[in-house]
Amino acid sequence: MPTDERSILAELSQEEANSIDIDGLPKAMVLLALYEHAMSHRETEVLHPKMREIVNKVPRAGRLSVAEAWIDNDNYSFDYLDLGNGSRALKVNLSSSAFNPKYFDEYHGRGQAQKAISTLVEELQTLLKGVEKTVKNKDAELGADLLWLKKAKEEQSSQFRSKPDLPRKRKSCCSL
């Protein structure tokens, strides 16, 4: 095998080894996580903290809906993207279950793409734990309600069974 082919294969296998797995994660949320961890061109200059608050003016839910719109239109390759808080260099392709963070990390610092995805996974796990806890609490409440209803039904039926028969008034066919 010629040296060029070996170096190309070595480079490809290195890229695969460095790729970040996003299988099972919502692509719009991956896109938003990368966007939030990317520095805008304005943020690369040193900004006063108050100025950063003004720059980050679009609420996260609004940015997520814009990211969903991009993904819904089958856009998976992003060079520069503005989700409402300024254009940011992403340099990623999200078309598969993993992506190469090489160019993202070149712009924003080594390991920043992995940090963005790790933060997203932690957020989703926390959200899932909260949902599971809520469901568990609701199940417990429902179980208590069902137990109460069963007990009330038993009490009600026992009341009907335990009522003494009252003497019936006889109707007379002839009244005087």
Residues 88 and 60: their CA atoms lie apart, in Å, by 16
Report if residue 171 sits inside a domain: no
Per-residue pLDDT of the chain (176 residues; tens, 9 = 90+): 556 666 655 555 555 568 999 999 999 999 999 998 887 544 444 444 554 554 455 566 778 888 888 888 887 889 888 887 778 889 999 999 999 999 999 988 899 999 999 999 999 899 888 888 887 777 777 777 777 777 777 777 766 665 555 556 666 566 55
Q: How many domains does the chain have?
A: 1
The H or E element that residue 89 is part of is strand 87-93
Report if residue 90 sits inside a domain: yes
Q: Which domain holds residue 107?
A: 26-127
Report if residue 38 sits inside a domain: yes
CA torsion through residues 140, 141, 143, 147, sign: positive
pTM listed for this prediction: 0.61
Are 15 and 100 spatial neighbours (Cβ–Cβ below 8 Å)? yes
